[in-house]
Amino acid sequence: MPTVLLYVGLRSRLFTPTDLGLTTQVCGARRPWLLLALSVVVPFAFWKLDISVVAWALATLPNGWPVPSFRYTDVIPPPGPGTGFYRLLALVHLCITAGVVEELYYRAAMDRLFPRGWRAGAAYVLVSSLVFAGAHEEGGLRSVTEAFAVGILAATVFRLTGNVWPLIVGHIITDWYWFTGGPAAG
């Protein structure tokens, strides 16, 4: 479905790859060295913020609402010689699809709904972060808080740089961490 929507939007000229931050441009100019630096710094910032907010939320926030018995880690085959390839395939699929789709939807596409300017930029950061957090309600209040904090960082980075690649990389790495060994992954 996301691929179809992306294809239809591009074919209908509703947006261009550059509009969605699918470019080597940073702040409107071709800066591959800066893009490379951001692709290292932003994922580290995502991961560090994410684990810090999770630690804070676990120590501070009540459960909020009942957490369903389903967890995303339940769909990943357990480690072992007979499941190694399938486990890797599931991890790659879940991490890449979530990283690409969520960053394109909640950051790149949503940015197009807000005009330029600092007030509209602040509204974009807040609204996109709230919508992103709402999409992660299945994990309870702590998960919503975690997604909101990461959403603020991601939306701010996108609004400032106009490039979605560092966000996609950061999202993939953060999801990989939680799926493969983060303290709450179990």
Question: Within a 10 A sphere around the Cβ of 175, how many other Cβ atoms?
Answer: 22
C-alpha–C-alpha distance, residues 152 and 126, integer Å: 7
Greater pLDDT, 64 or 7: 7
Please compute the mean of the pLDDT values over residues 162-179 and round it to a whole number: 93
Q: Enumerate the domain spans of the chain.
A: 2-180
Exposed/middle/buried for 78, CB within 10 Å: 0-12, 13-18, 19+? exposed
Whether residue 186 has pLDDT greater than 50: no
- Name the band, by pLDDT with cuts 50, 70 and 90, for residue 179: confident
C-alpha–C-alpha distance, residues 79 and 180, integer Å: 10
Angle formed by the axes of helices 141-161 and 165-180, nearest 10° = 160
pLDDT tens, residue by residue, 70-129: 667 777 888 778 887 888 998 999 999 999 999 999 999 999 999 999 999 999 999 999
Its pTM stands at 0.88
